[in-house]
Chains A and B, each alone.
Chain A
Amino acid sequence: MSVSALNQPPVLDHYRELFASTWAARAPKRDALTQLRQASLDRFLATGFPTQRDEAWKYTNLRRLESRRFTPAESAAVAAEDSRWIPDCGHRLVLINGTMLPGLSTPAPQPPGVTVLSLAQWAQHSPDEVAEFLSRHEPATPGPFENLNGAFSDDGIVIDIAQGFALDHPLYIVHHWRAPRTPGSSQMAHPRVIVRAGQQSQCSVISHYTGVDQADAFSNPWISFDLAAGARVEHLRIQEEGSRTFHIGSSHVRLARDANFTSHEFALGASLGRNSTMVQLAEPGASVSLNGLFAPTGTQHLDTHIRIDHAAAHTQSRQDYRGIAAARGRGVFNGKVIVRPHAQKIDARQSNRNLLLSATAEIDTRPELEIYADDVKCSHGATTGQLDPVSLFYLRSRGLGEEEARALLIRAFAQSMLATVKVGPVRTWLEARVQQRFDLSASGLPESL
């Protein structure tokens, strides 16, 4: 694939040159893995970053991200666990600036029935195997950010849950940013996580994106779930990156017969945050339930993008998302459901409810249904409004101050999403985080109504 360099904006030159300088020294032999990366890069260079002319990016402008010249993150050691992490939470796996650190991961012996592998370590021993493995997990049409991840990713985790095994504690994956040793540099990380759940297995995975308030970091994580027949997987995704970080995440889920995937997504941090969840209900009986909360404040832009593909009959999907926007925060919800021609007896429901806390906040919600079968049940509903004045008056008439009443109603709105998180200690931790955030945004922002 040759694209004339003259027609390309300089930003693509940056990534091309970066690719050469990054991998030339590390993989001079051009093994299969390097070739796979090269193919990803070529696809990325052919399209460049998406623009708002692209329907899937209609409400999210990437110019600020494009204008930065990010370089691969320096690996950094962390001596002790960070207070931002969820304490005593299952089997912890830690990636610092995109690189896995076994030292902080707990417990040392892996639980029986679970295999955890660092992609970087695996690649050191057998790059050809890794290349073959990764190409098998590549989607049919990867997007620009997945291509960028494929080109620059040099670490990540592969998790296998054995057939019939039920993991009783969550696998807690911490993605932590540390400040770069070179002050002022803009760094990026492209961690790749692949979870394969064997037949009739069960597990919970927590992806937690956190770290210091670092300047101009770019976090581009990609996680894939492959559920074999009858597997049940729960994913809790907590995005609380630093206030100047760009976070563009991709989640891919493929479900075989009678498998069930549940996810709870909390988008709280980052300057510009986006997560795309792409679900393929590949065989009959598969079901998926996605819910979440996005809460932009200040000048944050948080975008939730979902695409559910009912590729088989007798499949079910649920989407239930809530947005709360304060100050000049902007939220986007775009949930798309596709029902293939032969996929009859489909039940697909979508709901998005949004709360605007200031006159300058904005939430764009766009449900999309593409239905090519006739025996289906599909529904969607979206509402966007302000705090109910009658509820506020009711609480105040019982003696609660105006600010207290507002904070209570905001928390109550978020509560229904928090209540869906089943792991008790994690839910309590998350409730406190969300509460702290809304207490601040309800009382501390001059622009709130």
Chain B
Amino acid sequence: MLVIDNLKARVGGKDVLKGLNLTINAGEVHAIMGPNGSGKSTLAQVLAGRDGYEVTGGSVTYQSRDLLALAPEERAREGVFLAFQYPVEIPGVNNVYLLKAGLNAIRKHRGEPEVDAFEFLALVREKMKLMQMDESFLNRAVNEGFSGGEKKRNEILQMAILEPKLALLDETDSGLDIDALRVVANGVNSLRRPDRAIVMVTHYQRLLDYIEPDHVHVLSGGRILKSGDKSLALELESRGYDWVKEDPAAA
């Protein structure tokens, strides 16, 4: 589904990704872990197409297409979804409007008709129940005045409604208490499907207790230093990141 080949990127004049290789297949859940400043969030932003992240080398192929050539909205319509580390507050735009506009943009791209108002409401209600969100969220402005946990739940709600093929979760566990983490993890787990890939970017192993990854990668200094299964995450938890950096067998 996604092949990242020798990807190099710079932000604010600083090289952050320095030749990153990663292959993700449909149906897989990957966790990308690494210390602060290792390039985890940069990778998520580059894949979603954020301005100001300059790709200086390498390629990203998504479903046999050059992902980097697509505008952010084209990536979204092709099924790429980024759950933001810091979801943006947008006063004056209400949640339900954004959900509907996003869903219709994606449907239009697929050549499908706009969603029927009743079906849409039923869909939203079902997904909100899953995320344990109160219905009053719908008519509130996007993320405005939401607590940290509410914002993260709202991200997963959007994901549940837009049904991406490739979901990128950027530090989705940060700032969540244990109850909110369970709800968010439950939402993500319900979205695991054979035709969907999920990539979690995280600093801590905690999230992986609730969402079990098929593959774990250690990102450091802009490159994947080590890959393994979920036991790698536990090892990182007990031994820290320095161990990987010093391991001559890494990469």
Contact = CB atoms under 8 A, between A and B. Distances in A.
Contacts, number: 76
A397 B49 contact: yes
Interface residues of B, number: 30
Interface string A383-412: 000001111011111111110110011011
Given A396-B71, A397-B49, A398-B158, A409 B93 contact: yes
A415 interface: yes
Which secondary structure dominates where chain A touches chain B? helix
Contacts of B92: 411-416
Contacts of B106: 399
B101 interface: yes
Contacts of B49: 393, 396-397
Contact of A393 (B72, B77, B93, B102): B72
Contacts of A399: 73, 76-77, 101-103, 105-106, 109, 162
Interface in A398-440: 398-402, 404-405, 408-409, 411-416
Contacts of B102: 398-400
Contacts of A405: 73
Contact of B82 (A397, A401, A408, A409): A397
A401 B73 contact: yes
Contacts of A404: 101, 105
A414 B101 CA distance: 19
Nearest to A390: B88
Contacts of B87: 394
A276 B102 CA distance: 43
Interface string B62-104: 0000000001110111000110100110111100001001110
Contacts of A393: 48-51, 72
Most chain-B Cβ atoms within 10 A of its Cβ — which of A389, A393, A415? A393
A151 to B, nearest CB: 44
Contacts of A401: 73, 105
Contacts of B93: 395, 408-409, 412
B90 A402 contact: no
Interface in B214-244: none
B72 A397 contact: yes
Contact of A396 (B73, B84, B103, B141): B73
A394 B84 contact: yes
A401 B73 CA distance: 6
A397 B74 CA distance: 8
Contacts of B77: 399
Nearest to B50: A393
Given A404-B101, A408-B93, A398 B76 contact: yes
A391 B72 contact: no
Given A400-B101, A401-B105, A395 B91 contact: no
A400 B105 CA distance: 6
Interface string B102-115: 11011001000000
Interface of B: 48-52, 71-73, 75-77, 81-82, 84, 87-88, 90-93, 98, 101-103, 105-106, 109, 141, 158, 162
Across the A-B interface, give the 7 residue pairs with the lowest CB-CB distance, nearest first: A412-B92, A399-B105, A398-B102, A415-B92, A396-B72, A399-B76, A394-B88
